[in-house]
Amino acid sequence: MSQVTSPQQLAYIAGQAADARVNIELETEGMTLNIGPQHPATHGTLRVIVRLDGERVVAAEPVMGYMHRGYEKLAEVRTYPQVTTLVNRIDWLGSFANEVPFILAAERLMEVEAPPRAKWIRTALFELSRIANVVLFLGDMGVQLGAITPVFLAFRDREFVLNQIESVTGGRFHPNFDRIGGLKDDLPKGWIEETKGVLDRIRSFCDEMETLVAGNEIFQSRTRGIGVIPADIGLSYGLSGANIRASGVDWDLRRDSDVGLAHGELDWKVWTHPDGDSFSRYWVRLQEVREACRMVEQCLDGIPAGPIMAKVPRIIKVPAGEAYVETENPLGVMGYYVVSKGDLVPYRVKIRSASFNNVSITPWLLKGVYVPDVISILASLYFILGDIDR
Amino acid sequence: MSRPTLKLPGLLKGLGVTIRTLFRTITRGAHTVQYPRVKESPTPRARGVIALHEENCTSCMLCARECPDWCIYIEGHKYLAPPRRPGGKPRQKNALDRFDIDYALCMFCGICVEVCPFEALFWTPEFEYSEPRIADLLHDKSLLGKWMETVPEFEDYEPGAEVKKAKVPR
Amino acid sequence: MNTLTFAIELAYWQQTTIRAIVGLVAVLIPAGTLVYLFLFKMMSFMQSRLGPMEAGPYGSLQLLAEVGKFLQKEDVIPRQADRVVFKAAPFVVLISTFLLVLVIPAGPDAIFIDIDTGIFLALAVSSISVIGILMAGWASSSKYSLLGGLRAAGQLIAYELPLVLAVMGVVIQAGTLNVQGIVMAQAEGEIFGYGGIGNPFIFTQFLGFLIFLVAVQAELTQPPFDMPVAESEIVTGYLTEYTGMRFLLFFIGEFATAGIFSALAATLFLGGWYLPGFDPSDNLFNVIGPLVLMGKVILVAFLIFWFRFTYPRFREDQLQTLAWKVLIPLSLINIVITGVLKVLV
């Protein structure tokens, strides 16, 4: 497949890059360039070492770990509500979605099921966090490619979604709202009507993005045919989410697995695209935002009346056992493997984060592309550093 | 690689979007507010700062124990209160000496407010309490009591909810 | 200036001082206006926000605040940079701007030098900035800067040709290389016999106008042609190592050049300082000519910046393809058609 990853070659690259201060090396065979860790293009502190020949990439290697915060170790000494708070901060753009698989895993161990009202509101908030996350991507891919206006429009319209999340949970970015057995509190009066108004704004934002970015010929000539990921290669690297659906693989955990959210009772469709290039990844995510708006609307219309929390003891001690739950988060498939020994704190929490696998394809993908295309490809893969490094 | 085509419609439509936003901002104003001249108030549930209702606190230490950052400092002592009726046993009660929350450490998770069994802690949407010195971010008992004035009443719930609305003790 | 009769006799050194001051003002006033109107306000309004509002009423003094900010920054030069070349690069870029303003008329007599090859001088002088950018890219001794400098060299040289060829159509139609002559040809011309609004060349040279605008966008390294300064990739390219006052020189230079090129476009295609309805040799135009020209500059600059804020950027090879395979053939066709029509009609 690729002869990039021979240890000697990597050692050479690493040696060159480790010394990447300001020095001018006009080697005619290749120049080693360090993209990051401080760089406007990488979403955070990702370092990509590329070896260039003129403007073509010969070899590339991502170096992760600049933002490692030790979540899995911290989780060993935190009670379940405290871990819920911590876990918000993994994928900080769509943060409610991080809590959901963890809470579902703990509920599976406790053999507690959340009441239907909690299930539906959980799904609505889950899809709202997907909207908040992917709306930023739609604007951000523009700015990676040079169009500075879409990202401001994205932030503007994302504010409305965050305000809605704040009205319910109290926090815009870190809701900390999911509890074992249900949700912390119920919806305030008027929230459903307001949220429907916000969804209209998001729909008009999607139309704007389609005109301003996706329909732009310059954008299309920068992204069509760039960074093509064949379906089998993508699956073998463990890509998930919109990245793999843009290569034609019809796989979505919301439809294909039943974890305890209300997706099975909603009417929605999974979007795929046959090419596997950067443009199709953008397009699939654009359609997913529109689909998420439809889903939230159906959720809001169908919330059943009832309690918001099942009967759980005040001090939660999860019985011994292990459970693995994965859900279709905005970035991809996120899973929590919770091992409990019957304590107040989990014994071990293993977090399967989507972006870690999404970034692992970069050595294969970046071979032979131009430097500007490196940025376009990294932008289209859409990773969040908190998700990669945890 | 790929040749830029000269199909114009997409390019022109993109121009339309920006010019429309330009005119919208000129005629209907921007989406931003000029803080600090104009202040938007956050929603009632927004997690701004924590207020303490001292009468309800029995220094049970649950909040200090559950805080993930260990930013609550509580000191109390026991004292003997006079018996409820004459001739009875004197009652042992807790008195609160010190209740500090260090907002330099607090991560605004709300676990302390949630686990308090006596409803002594409340969230308020007040957020303008930044200080020039970090040491001043340690709010003591009296300041936490003053924040009680900013605590809004609990909101009504959507129809269909079975949760009862709580009351804020004043 | 030397044909204008003054009420008082001025000595030669006094005339030179006035010319120097007017030249400085002629470059800096458009630069400041463009920065405020378009960069601070128009870009912000297109992004649903208000832009700087604190410094002065509606943020009008923000540029002065920025100048003050840049002035008090530390002067950092990378250790391995070539010091002389590094320091000289911003000035070389600015030289081309100041030389360009010499030939643009702001009134029938308000011109620095009125030579018969005015346009030729303008186009020749505008290429000097390429050297400045290459100097900046090389002397910074950083890989990012070098990449930016090389990209800039390729791009700017490639887009010189459509620029020149688009102007050729105007020259053929006007019949002269003298810039004042071109303005007069537009002022005194007629459209199908109707002489009310003169004959601004934008009607007949519409293709040339578009090519000129695209080439100017590329010469200024503005999006969609800002590969050399691709901010999200190579962190402002050749400008990466410039901080403080040196960066401000580049920044003001960029906007001054934008203003001057817009003035050139306004002169060649929109009629320069001429306002229809008045006699072109009227002395009134020496007073209101600069204002009329400024208005037309704002119009052309509006188009340039509108494209800048809307479009993503081209990749380097797409950029070159556009220049060599699309713009140059189109401008050659434009010249042929203009020449044929000039002889026949």
Q: What pLDDT, in 10s, does the model give residues C128-186?
A: 888 888 888 888 777 667 777 887 888 889 999 999 999 988 888 888 888 888 888 88
Q: With pLDDT > 90 as the criterion, what percentage of chain B qualifies?
A: 21
Q: Which B residues in the span 77-116 are in contact with A, Cβ-Cβ below 8 Å?
A: 107-111, 114
**At a CB cut-off of 8 Å and minimum separation 6, what does A166 contact?**
A172, B42, B43, B45, B46
**In Å, how far is A20's CA from the nearest CA of chain B?**
31
For the record, the structure tokens of C279 come out as: 């006699």
- Say yes or no: A174 contacts chain B, CB-CB below 8 A: yes
- Output DSSP code: residue C240: T
- Say yes or no: A23 contacts chain C, CB-CB below 8 A: yes
pLDDT over threshold 50, residue B35: yes
Nearest to A33 among C48, C143, C311 (CB): C143
Q: Specify the pLDDT at position C329.
A: 92
Q: What is the mean pLDDT of chain B?
A: 85
CATH topology of domain B49-150: Alpha-Beta Plaits (3.30.70)
**Do A192 and B43 count as a contact with CB atoms less than 8 A apart?**
no
Q: How far is C-alpha B116 from the chain's CA centre? A: 15
- Say yes or no: A212 contacts chain C, CB-CB below 8 A: yes
Residues of C in Cβ contact (< 8 Å) with A156? 47-49
Stretch B105-111: mean pLDDT? 90
Interface with chain C: mutation pick from A19, A23, A24, A213, highest number of C CBs within 10 Å:
A24
Q: Specify the pLDDT at position C13.
A: 86
Higher local confidence (pLDDT), B7 or A352:
A352
Angle of helix C118-125 relative to helix C179-188, nearest 10 degrees, comes to 120
Domain range list for chain B = 49-150
pLDDT over threshold 90, residue B41: no
* Across A182-186, A197-201, B97-101, C198-202, least confident range: C198-202
Give per-residue pLDDT as tens, C292-319.
Answer: 889 999 999 999 998 888 888 888 888 8
Q: Is residue C39 part of a domain?
A: no
Higher local confidence (pLDDT), A144 or B51:
B51
For the record, the structure tokens of A9 come out as: 């070659």
Kindly list the partner chains of chain B, i.e. chains with 3 or more CB atom pairs below 8 Å. Answer: A, C
CATH 3.30.390, domain A1-66+360-390, yes or no: yes
Region label for A60, one of left (φ > 0), alpha (ψ between -120 and 50) or beta (otherwise): beta
Q: Specify the pLDDT at position A13.
A: 67
Give per-residue pLDDT as tens, C260-284.
Answer: 999 999 988 888 888 877 776 777 7
CATH code at A79-352: 1.10.645.10
Interface with chain A: mutation pick from C77, C229, C234, highest number of A CBs within 10 Å:
C234
Closest CA to A254 of A100, A105, A138: A100
- Say yes or no: B40 contacts chain A, CB-CB below 8 A: no
* Across A201-205, C4-8, C286-290, least confident range: C4-8
Interface with chain C: mutation pick from B12, B15, B20, B37, highest number of C CBs within 10 Å:
B15
Give per-residue pLDDT as tens, C211-263.
Answer: 999 999 988 888 888 877 764 455 567 777 788 888 888 888 888 888 999 99
pLDDT over threshold 70, residue B8: no
Q: Is residue C291 part of a domain?
A: yes
Q: How many domains does chain C contain in total? A: 1
**Do C312 and A375 count as a contact with CB atoms less than 8 A apart?**
no
User: Rounded to whole angstroms, how far apart are CA atoms C6 and A198?
Assistant: 67
- ipTM given for this complex: 0.85
Give per-residue pLDDT as tens, C21-74.
Answer: 888 888 888 888 888 888 888 888 888 888 888 888 888 888 888 889 988 988
- Say yes or no: A303 contacts chain B, CB-CB below 8 A: yes
Residues of B in Cβ contact (< 8 Å) with C310? 14-15, 17-18
Q: Specify the pLDDT at position C198.
A: 72
Q: Specify the pLDDT at position C234.
A: 53
By CB neighbour count within 10 A (0-12 exposed, 13-18 middle, 19+ buried), where does C245 fall? middle
By CB neighbour count within 10 A (0-12 exposed, 13-18 middle, 19+ buried), where does C131 fall? middle
Nearest to A216 among C241, C309, C311 (CB): C311
Q: Is residue C243 part of a domain?
A: yes
Q: Which A residues in the span 220-279 are in contact with B, Cβ-Cβ below 8 Å?
A: 220-221, 224-225
CB-based contact B94:B58 (threshold 8 Å): yes
**At a CB cut-off of 8 Å and minimum separation 6, what does B96 contact?**
B54, B57, B59, B74, B76, B141
Q: What are the residues of chain C with a beta carbon less than 8 Å away from any beta carbon of chain B?
A: 42, 44-50, 53, 306-307, 309-311, 314-315, 317-318, 321-322, 325-326
Residues of B in Cβ contact (< 8 Å) with A218? 4, 11
Nearest to A375 among C143, C233, C310 (CB): C233
The parts of chain A modelled with pLDDT lower than 70 are 1-5, 10, 12-30, 36, 38-42
Q: Specify the pLDDT at position C165.
A: 92
Residues of A in Cβ contact (< 8 Å) with C142? 22, 24
Closest residue, chain A, to C233 (C-alpha): A41
**Do A370 and C315 count as a contact with CB atoms less than 8 A apart?**
yes
Q: Specify the pLDDT at position B58.
A: 87
What is the domain range of residue C301? 73-344
Q: Specify the pLDDT at position A28.
A: 46
Q: Give pTM, 2 decimals.
A: 0.86
Closest CA to A208 of A154, A140, A129, A158: A154
CB-based contact B118:B60 (threshold 8 Å): yes
Interface with chain A: mutation pick from C45, C48, C83, C233, highest number of A CBs within 10 Å:
C233
Domain range list for chain A = 1-66+360-390, 79-352
